[in-house]
Structure 1
Amino acid sequence: MDASSKIYNSVAVVTMNYNGNLNGITVAWIMRSSINPKILAISIGKQRYSYELLKKVNFFGINLLSVNQINIAKHFGTISERNFNKFEGINFKMSKNKIPILNGVVAYLECEKIGDFEAGDHNIFLGKVNFEEIINNEKVLLYGEHKFWRD
């Protein structure tokens, strides 16, 4: 285990809609990058199908998962949308920009993509938050040391 694995992060499902093709991917590499305007950064592996779609879309959603949503994190983190509809059997609603909002999440932030750049084997996508909502007050699921943490 390397020292960087000691960095703990909130777990989210990043959702998007490319011409009616709904997609989501579990991410733990999320960070604030500006307060005014509010800008967030997410890091996605270039080999991921979601990377291909994020390059094409204008908006994406960040669904912060609760400690009770480990199964959702695993679902969106282990199955490729390229060959499977990840949203089958998943409860969600659509935002005004037609981005999936997962039921039961702690919070939802919708971002307009304002840029992206390469970072080694990943790509950093920058999003300006244009809508955000705290949905419940449960604890946020964390990821660190290569596993999920509830506390």
Structure 2
Amino acid sequence: MPPQRTQGLKPNSRGQSPTVFQQSQPLLGQQQPLGMQVLGLILMPRALAVCLVPTDEDAYTRMTKLRRSLYQDPGLMALGIEQQYGFTAHITLGYFVDISPDFDRFQFCDLLETLNQQWLDAPQVLAVHRAELRRFEDMTNYHRQPDWPVLEF
């Protein structure tokens, strides 16, 4: 009989992920939010997103240490969790599947350029206070249980 999934996660991942988050805490140094500046809108292969960049070297170092500790953790690797893409900090605004042949790509690029210039002229900084474990079956439904791990910055 195959093992039962526990509230949407692979077997053993609920026990493994809190350990990884706890082990990552000392790597992150001081308890302060990560500063992330909004760089502008980016067009990704299947999504439109707001691109973020760390505000300083400390935020960059802490973010990359967390990412590295997660993807290089033997327990998570054994669960099949693997790094698939280079990292681009972003907030996804929406996804798309099919693009109409009538879609004016040049006009869209001009619009993105105009909007992005506004971000550069008046930079916006976000403070990231925590990282949470979430599970998603598709790119529109993210699930979280109250007892899943949280890492406070």
Q: Indicate whether the TM-score tops 0.5.
A: no
Whose strand proportion is higher, 1 or 2? Answer: 1
TM interval, short-chain normalised: under 0.3
> How does the TM-score come out when normalised to structure 2?
0.26
